Amino acid sequence: MARQSIEVSEKAGVRYLHFSSDWVQGAMRIQRPNALELPYTREMMAGLLLRAAPWPRDALLIGLGAGSLAKFIYHHLPATRITVVEIDPQVETVARLHFRLPDDPLRLRVLIADGADHMLHADSRHDCILVDGFDGQARAGALDTLPFYQACRARLSESGLLVVNLLGRERGFAASAERIGLAFGGRSLLFPSCDKGNTIVFATAGEAVDVAGSELVSRAGHWQAVSGLNLQPTLARLRQAGRLQRDRLLL
């Protein structure tokens, strides 16, 4: 892929990453550099409600952006090994210079590679695979194909979860969700949209997700207390959308 024009801007105490446009690819509140500033990034960490600690032991991120997810996991889940696959070396440089991405290759490894090729040819297994990769025109390309999602399924551990940010619901959103469901034999869960542009999908092919509503509330309270991550709005939307069956979240 050709190198993109990358810009960094600041407004009201928040630093933003842009690719070739005004469209925001990542954000960091300068006074809270390890917090998840954008709502969809908080939603992508909702797997912490679906699986009990100590989960995940190993996380793979496709797409680095401003490094928000990598930093959150690094600082708040110290037992988790993190691998990030990023196609553009400029993005890693900007994340380190402007967004305080940690330099700790023993725990946080950044690979400059094509995310789709990596998934199709690697043999590693992960407890969590988070996919958030787009170009400057908000296109996911090969990261939104049936072979890619099938490769993700093959790379998940028994307790593994795939988490995908689907951007631009007006442009193929339903088809993307359908491809994920097909790759995972129907075991996918579309979260109610957390903002006007992002919807998060969770999928698994291994150990079932079966969590009582009271346990979801307890886990949300725990993570808010220890990390500042507020998943209460996510729980409220799940309930309102009828995603809980007999007060249990099932996947």
Residues known to be catalytic: 132
DSSP string, the chain: -PPPPEEEEEETTEEEEEESSS-EEEEEETTBTTS--SHHHHHHTTHHHHS-SS--SEEEEE--TTSHHHHHHHHH-TT-EEEEEES-HHHHHHHHHHS-----TTTEEEEES-HHHHHHH----EEEEEE----TTS--GGGGSHHHHHHHHHTEEEEEEEEEEEE-TTTTHHHHHHHHHHHTTT-EEEPPPSSSSEEEEEE-SSSPPEEEHHHHHHHHHHHHHHH----HHHHHHHHHTT-SBTTEEE-
Q: Is the Cα torsion angle 156, 241, 215, 44 positive or negative in sign? A: positive
* Residue 151 token pair: 């490769």
- C-alpha distances in angstroms, 57 versus 107, 182, 189, 246? 11, 27, 22, 30
Among 181, 191, 166, which Cα is nearest to 243's? 191
